[in-house]
Amino acid sequence: MTPGFDVPFLLGMMRLSDSPALSDPRILADWIEARLDEGLVWFDHADTYGDRRCEMLFGEALALRPALKPRIRVVTKAGVVLRSRDSSRFGVKHYDTSPAYLGKAIDASLSRLGVERLDHFLVQRPDPLMDVNATAHALDAAIAAGKVGAVGVSNFLPEQWRRLQQAMANPLAVHQLELSLAHPDSLFSGLYDAVLSDGHQPMAWSSLGGGSVFEDVLGTAIERIAKELQISHAGLALAWLRRLPGQPIPVIGTLKESRIRELAREGRVDLDRPTWFALLEEARSQRVT
């Protein structure tokens, strides 16, 4: 597994542009510094978040306080062209993993964030039109140029990432996939095992299922068990994820400081097997056979 991820979670920046308070670079710089002081050094971005505005806001804050730059670790993603960014007559959302597009996307993220290197750059979605050899060469070139520390993928299936890996000189290091109590399917389809087998560090996006883990029968079970363990509902859901082999790193979306501190305390709670499986049964609405 990729070293350097000894953290309870990554701080997802998807909602950064929706926070009026953090749109002030001075306030955002204070917020970033507070997270770093708490040992939370990994920030998850994508050029689609806020239609590039989230990276831009983050970069403006770092420009005001450049001493923070050596302390942060950045993950960002590209390869999805939003409808508003499509210049064709179709105005269609689509994927683009061509070398020209990815090269420009990497340079643009570096510029918006104001950093010299992206610690991890992920191809955000599998592209049916990907020229594997050309894309692999472009990703290897970004690593060789020092623009990217390591490359990974997001939302790929095994044969999709293995075709890319076969054409690359550098190993794919991380895989960001949807995984939570609300979406445990990858644990039974073989996808999660393939991620571990190929040596990728798993990252779990939508780690709280967009809040759906707290609804219906599953929500009732989480409420009961969280009360017994004296932790928050979200802390229990993250602890369930962290109990998995490979310790997938959740990506959390909250920007609320009190919530982040709470989850940092509780996300490492060690669940025993019966508790873990009791939650799984409720999540899948079926008994373990």
User: Hey, how many other C-beta atoms are within 10 angstroms of the C-beta on 98?
Assistant: 17
User: Hey, how many other C-beta atoms are within 10 angstroms of the C-beta on 9?
Assistant: 26
Q: Look at residues 174, 98, 175, 172 and name the one whose alpha carbon lies nearest to residue 133.
A: 98
Task: Supply 228's token pair.
Answer: 């017994």
Q: Look at residues 80, 87, 25, 10 and name the one whose alpha carbon lies nearest to residue 56.
A: 25
Active-site position among 49, 95, 101, 192: 49
**Alpha carbons 236 and 230: distance in angstroms, whole number:** 9
Q: What is the DSSP letter of 180?
A: B
Question: What b/e readout covers 59-90, taking b as 16+ CB neighbours within 10 angstroms?
Answer: bbbbeeeeeeeeebbbbbbbbbbeeeeeeeee
Strand pairing category for 148-154 and 201-205: unpaired
Q: Look at residues 59, 7, 1 and name the one whose alpha carbon lies nearest to residue 35.
A: 7
What are the Cα distances from residue 194, in Å, to 127, 170, 189, 240?
20, 18, 10, 20
Contact between 206 and 270 under an 8 Å Cβ cutoff? The reply is: no
Identity at 232, one-letter amino acid code: S
Indicate if 49 belongs to the active site.
yes
3-state SS of 126-179 is: CCCCCCHHHHHHHHHHHHHCCCEEEEEEECCCHHHHHHHHHHCCCCEEEEEEEC
3-state class (DSSP) for residue 89: coil
* Active site residue ranges: 49
